[in-house]
Every structure is written in C-alpha cells, then in structure tokens.
Structure 1
Amino acid sequence: MVSWDLVYTNQAKRDAEKLSRSGLKPQAQKLLEILKENPHQNPPSYEKLVGDLAGAYSRRINIQHRLVYQVLEDIHTVKVIRMWSHYE
C-alpha cells in the first residue's frame, strides 16, 4: 500500500510546537502515522467538519485538542490544518 504525503499549514507547524510543550506530541504522532497509512481508517474515529472548516476532518488528540486535516485524493496528500483546538 502506498503511503500518503503529509503537508502542514503554518498554523499546524505553530500548533506542533504547542503540542510538544504540553506533552501531547506522542498522541499527535500516532494520529499522523495513521493518516500517512490511510486517512479514512476507522478506528480511531473521525468526524467530517461543517461551517468554516467544511470539507475537512477532525480526530481527537485528547479531550480538548483536535487534529484537523483535509484529504486531497487527486494528489494523494493529507493537508494538516490544525493540531490544537479548532474552536479558537
């Protein structure tokens, strides 16, 4: 199976630093590895977002923080949008 490419927005890169400082990096890394293998894998569960983030998906890093991403099927890429709270 071919793995998916991951690309990160500038916001996701800033969020990664926050995750590292807060001790949540291992949980996020686990989710990123799953996305590289199959962004539609279930479990862990994910939800399709609506509103400003319509077309994106969300997976829980912990009770408060989410990994928000878009799946770009045509170029076999997962675009990581956020890795902190998407409610801010």
Structure 2
Amino acid sequence: MECSIKLAKSATKDLKNLKSAHLGKKLMVVSQNNSFQNPPPYEKLIENLKDKYSRRLTIQHRIVYSVDSNAKEIIIWSAWTRYEK
C-alpha cells in the first residue's frame, strides 16, 4: 500500500532540527510503501499514544507516527524528542 507522508504541525520544527543535524535522510525510515517494515524495528506505543508508532532515528532521537490505512496516509507527529506529543 503506497501512502502519502504528512507532517503534523507539531513536527515542522522537528524537521528543521533534523536537517540542521544532518539527519533529514533518516526520516525516510517510515517507508511510503510499508510503514511496518522491519528493520529498522518499530514499536507500538501505549496509553495516550496507543494509535501511534515509534522508530529510532539515532540513540537520542525517535520518530513518532501514525498510519491511516483508509486515507492511505502516514502522519509524522514528532521526529526530534521522545514521546512528548
């Protein structure tokens, strides 16, 4: 299933930080064709983030995203800090 990738408003600042840290290419770990591809491993989040997934970009940074299969969209919520959104 090919999906479009959208940035949530909360992730736009994160994208600038990733580019300045030369990690922009790592953002593509969320594949447009298979958002659950392994590796890199992903984990399903819990509690108030239960509809979201996380993948490690570096030891320090993670990407938090959700997948809407009906709309064929991957929404990136955060790409810089850990689970704050």
TM-score exceeds 0.5: yes
Distance (whole Å) between structure 1 residues aligned to residue 44 and residue 22 of structure 2: 26
Distance (whole Å) between structure 1 residues aligned to residue 83 and residue 55 of structure 2: 14
Sequence identity, in percent? 33
Correspondence 1:19 to 2:48: no
Provide structure 1 residue ranges, at least 5 long, that are not aligned to the other structure.
none
Give the deviation of 1:87 after TM superposition: 4.1
Per the alignment, residue 78 of structure 2 pairs with: 82
Work out which of the residue numbers 16, 40, 64 in structure 2 matches 1:44: 40
Distance (whole Å) between structure 2 residues aligned to residue 51 and residue 86 of structure 1: 15
Per the alignment, residue 73 of structure 1 pairs with: 69
Q: Give the match's secondary structure for 2:40.
A: coil
Higher helix share: 1
TM-score in terms of structure 2 length: 0.88
Q: Give the match's secondary structure for 2:77.
A: strand
TM-score in terms of structure 1 length: 0.85
Give the deviation of 1:73 after TM superposition: 1.0
Letter of the 2:23 counterpart: L
